[in-house]
Chains A and B, each alone.
Chain A
Amino acid sequence: MPHSVHIRSVMKRYGDFIAIPELSLEIKEGEFFTLLGPSGCGKTTLLRMIAGFNEIDGGEISFDDRVINDLPAHKRDIGMVFQNYAIFPHLTVKENVAYGLIARKVPAAEKEERTQKAMELMHIAEHSAKYPQQLSGGQQQRVALARAVVIEPSVLLMDEPLSNLDAKLRVEMRLVIREVQQKLGITTVYVTHDQEEALSVSDRIAVMNKGHVAQLGTPLDIYLRPANTFVADFIGITSFIPVQVDAEGKVAILGKAPLGIRAAKSYTGMAILAVRPENVVLKDAEGSDFTGRISTATFLGDSVCYEIDVEGGRRITANQYMINTDSPREVGQTVGIGFLEKRLNLFDPSGEESLL
């Protein structure tokens, strides 16, 4: 049965370096929860604290209402999938999958049945007698996943499980992971630095930076309404443009006419406008208030990505989808720049707070 995970004010230090100062999270039962962040943000540290491989230096972690701080790793009843598979090289596929059941002294007949079921679920039953060296990377990761779920763990932990696979396999495997998690309903904590992966598999995401949670929310929230410039910059591509907010809350690019958005909070002064490439609308330069010069145009198949130099030595990235045009614009051309205004985001000058 699925368990909830409660992380309360946990702290982790390595000597003088504090990796996680104080962090709290509530992970609901059956939830697919992702810790997303750049390397060194503390996401793997936190995952290994849940697993029992890193000591908890302050605060507490509990599964449901059982505090697990002092429970050794092998008694936490956890399924774990590692970045480099960590399949036992001296055991066959079947022996690998059955390993945790043997440790739990599951009766032979039941062990046999559950092992078989797990292998079938992961489509590796036909390889059951093979050794790991005879399998491809994707197959090895399937073995690792089968081995982790067959024990029906309280919590399933995954530490960048797809980062050693090639791009195509990564997309295939993340579908498999999501599907299996949904089918079994296991509470899952997933660590990755790949934002696309995080957006595609998670129920909720905690974006982490320097040991803190920068934003907690659903994939849609995080992409559309980033809480700060760190998240806006880390997830997807964002161009930042300095703007002025007047006393009425009107927002304007310096020296230009006001945009159609208003700062929600009572704030006046300089602010940062965040624009995603797909929300930039390119127009003819004539009659446009805000213009720029195309410095590069990269054809990507379904779209063209432009880098546009605007006043003040800044650059804006814009995407133009091929379904909207037949001929991409040329490098050197001056274009008018507009925005899909309801998708814009606005932050205070420190970038810490949204002004919408």
Chain B
Amino acid sequence: MNAALRVPSFQERLAKRLNFWNVVLVLLLLLTLVFIVYPFGQMFYNSLFNADGEFSFANYQKFFGRRYYYNALFNSLKICVTVTITSLLIGLPMAYLTSRFHILGKRFVDIAVVLSLLSPPFIGAYSWILLFGRSGVVTTFLADWGIDIGSIYGFKGIVMVFTLKLYPFVYLYVSGALSSMDASLEEASANLGITGLERIMRVTFPLIIPTILSSGLIVFMTALADFGTPMLLGEGYKVLPVLIYDEYLSEVGSDTYLANAMSVIIVCISATVLFIQKKIINRKSYNMSALNPPAITHLPTGKYLLASGFVLLVAVVSLFPQITVAYTSFLKMNGPLFVDGFSLDSYRYIMFKLSRNISNTFMFALAALAVMIMLGLLISYIVVRRRSRASGLLDFLVMFPYVLPGSVLGICLVMAFNKGPIMIAGTMWIMILSYTIRKLPFTLRSSVGILYQIDPSIEEASISLGVSPMKTFFTVMVKLMMPGLLSGAVLSFIAVINEVSSTIILYTGRTVTMSVTIFSEINRAGYGTAAALATLLSLITIVALIIFRKLGGKDVA
């Protein structure tokens, strides 16, 4: 009888399965269960109870029954759709022009675009108020000349600020896709007699539809989740995240059950949008090998100036907030009022009074970064190289917070961890936890991308030479993945230090950070302090960005 055909006993089967990666997989699933499934599950569960603790749909009935509430949903959707369209209208032509033609000041444009993307969202809103608000510099100046530019508050203002902040997603994604496209396709089109705008619409853009949709999706989701901008600019115009914040935190008449229900609604919307986008992308994806990268050509002088003018105008306008803020930070202040002359008072103030906020920001972000790198390495390996139903579940659970607006995640975490065995609400741990959960999807995706580029036989070579799979991972794979992973992690770091929407729910006096202080300083008219902090934050962002570029240039493979 053949020994290997014997049915193995349970212990034997268990022993066979008990390898390093299966243990890691189980541990990671447990972690996601505790820190992702449980908090969100609890929020969903709580949304089904009324204030008296009885099971009911009262919260949802209240939401869809009162104009005040459901109107906020419509407002949110209206803003998101409009912003997605305007961002595409600006981002697409910009990306096309800069990736196909020589444009004046292209390097400056790239930096400006990334900078405007990486600042905390409400900085833009705040600066536009400084410039075009009711008593803004430009408004009063133009009013002296008898020109009324209308109000920046409400729908128009929110759309403008969001567009200027979010079109960079479209620009960056689409430029990437356009410059890695196979030029032969466009050449073939020209050869068959279709050129110019018609070629763009019939060949170029259809080929990169998945990228265009992904960038549109990010714009939509970011606009849906953000609450700093509509909070500052909305005034009467309420959107869903602002309402959730109000219901959850306002001193009078707060209704956390309703906040739960609204959170569930907003998550459903983003999940639906994500689902639709995935469906479309799966049907419209083309494999292109960029054997023949597109050439960057010269435009005739007239068109060159026109194109450069458009691109530079957008870049400069989207930098306005940064410039305004930097300028403001050096102004002399007397209480909330700007007085004549310049000074470094604001900086002195933040260095002495707010040094804790700065050190907190760094500490939390670096801690979250370390955890994210570790998890990114392990999870991406399991997702890519040890594909199974369990690894698919892990991937899904880790990516799920991608559809959670920051404030919703913040509320989830507070409710889950302000009692019971893991009581970390109000501590630095909950901040680090929140940053990790929220930004891990980005680190994970970059890590997964790198892993796909590493030949599986490299790993098998090491194993066949006698090094165990675990040791192979830590000595060979980690070394090969690190450069790419670190560059992705730097972006996560930048996103974390600028994070405000979950921070504002989670912070306490001891765990206050720079970004949230900027927000509260604006609200209590500490404009100078806010500006100085924001400038410092931008500076750190720029430095991190330079490190990112340096890392990105040094690839092992």
B-binding residues in A (CB < 8 A): 8-9, 51-53, 56, 58-60, 67, 69-70, 72-80, 82-84, 86-90, 99-100, 103-104, 144, 147-148, 151, 157
Contact = CB atoms under 8 A, between A and B. Distances in A.
Given A82-B457, A89-B556, A90-B556, A73 B3 contact: no
10 contacts: A70-B16, A72-B469, A74-B472, A76-B464, A79-B465, A83-B457, A90-B480, A103-B466, A147-B461, A148-B464
Nearest to A104: B466
Contact of B464 (A70, A80, A88): A80
Contacts of A100: 465-466
Contact of B461 (A52, A60, A75, A88): A88
B4 interface: yes
A144 B480 CA distance: 18
A73 B457 contact: no
A67 B3 contact: yes
Nearest to A8: B2
A53 B463 CA distance: 9
Contacts of A73: 460, 463-464, 469
A9 B556 CA distance: 43
B458 interface: yes
A158 to B, nearest CB: 12
B479 interface: yes
Q: Which A-B residue pairs are the 6 nearest by beta carbons? A: A100-B465, A86-B457, A103-B466, A82-B457, A86-B461, A60-B4
A51 B461 contact: no
Contacts of A80: 460-461, 464
B476 interface: yes
A72 B17 CA distance: 12
B213 to A, nearest CB: 32
Nearest to B469: A74
Interface in B282-320: none
A235 B320 CA distance: 72
Interface in B462-477: 462-469, 472, 476
A26 B439 CA distance: 55
Given A56-B4, A59-B4, A83-B457, A88 B476 contact: yes
A100 B461 CA distance: 9
Interface string B343-354: 000000000000
Contacts of B472: 74
Given A86-B455, A90-B480, A79 B464 contact: yes
B418 to A, nearest CB: 46
Contact of B465 (A58, A72, A83, A103): A103
Contacts of A104: 466
A60 B460 contact: no
B147 interface: no
Nearest to A76: B464
B149 interface: no
A79 B461 CA distance: 9
Given A59-B4, A89-B458, 12 more contacts: A56-B4, A60-B3, A73-B460, A74-B472, A79-B465, A82-B457, A82-B460, A86-B458, A88-B462, A89-B480, A99-B467, A151-B465
**Main SS at interface, chain B:** helix
Contact of A82 (B461, B556, B557): B461
B431 to A, nearest CB: 36
A84 B2 contact: no
A74 B464 contact: yes
A103 B467 contact: yes
- B5, B463, B465, B476: which has the most chain A beta carbons within 10 Å? B465
Interface residues of B, number: 25
Contacts of B466: 74-75, 77, 100, 103-104, 151
A86 B476 CA distance: 12
Contact of A90 (B455, B465, B479): B479
A83 B460 CA distance: 12
Nearest to A57: B4
Interface of B: 2-5, 16, 19, 455, 457-458, 460-469, 472, 476, 479-480, 556-557
B503 to A, nearest CB: 38
A193 to B, nearest CB: 17
A57 to B, nearest CB: 10
A90 B462 CA distance: 13
Nearest to B466: A103
Nearest to B468: A74
- B5, B463, B480: which has the most chain A beta carbons within 10 Å? B463
Given A60-B4, A67-B4, A69-B4, A88 B467 contact: no
B546 to A, nearest CB: 25
- A9, A53, A88: which has the most chain B beta carbons within 10 Å? A88
A90 B480 CA distance: 7
Contacts of B468: 72, 74
Contacts of A76: 464
A12 to B, nearest CB: 13
B551 to A, nearest CB: 16
Contacts of B4: 56, 58-60, 67, 69
Nearest to A61: B4
A89 B465 contact: no
Nearest to B482: A90
Contacts of B461: 80, 82, 86-88, 144, 147
Contacts of B16: 70
A99 B465 contact: yes
A89 B460 contact: no
A75 B471 CA distance: 13
B270 to A, nearest CB: 34
Contacts of A103: 465-467
Nearest to A103: B466
- B16, B458, B461, B557: which has the most chain A beta carbons within 10 Å? B461
A159 to B, nearest CB: 8
Given A83-B457, A89-B556, A59 B2 contact: yes
Contacts of A53: 460, 463
A74 B469 CA distance: 8
A59 B468 CA distance: 25
A78 B2 contact: no
Nearest to B8: A70
A63 to B, nearest CB: 14
A148 B462 CA distance: 10
Contacts of B480: 89-90
Contact of A74 (B5, B458, B467, B479): B467
Given A82-B461, A99-B462, A99-B465, A89 B2 contact: no
A56 B465 CA distance: 20
A86 B2 contact: no
Contacts of A87: 458, 461
Contact of A84 (B457, B463, B476): B457
Contacts of A90: 476, 479-480, 556
Contacts of B464: 51-52, 73-74, 76, 78-80, 148, 157
- B460, B467, B472, B557: which has the most chain A beta carbons within 10 Å? B460
Contacts of B455: 84, 86
A158 B116 CA distance: 53
Contacts of B467: 74, 99, 103
A88 B4 CA distance: 35
Contact of B463 (A59, A69, A74, A144): A74
- B3, B458, B466, B468: which has the most chain A beta carbons within 10 Å? B466
Given A60-B4, A67-B4, A89-B557, A51 B462 contact: no
A82 B2 CA distance: 32
Contacts of B463: 52-53, 73-74
Contacts of B5: 58-59
A83 B457 CA distance: 9
A232 to B, nearest CB: 34
Contacts of B3: 60, 67
A72 B18 CA distance: 12
A79 B4 CA distance: 25
A89 B556 CA distance: 7
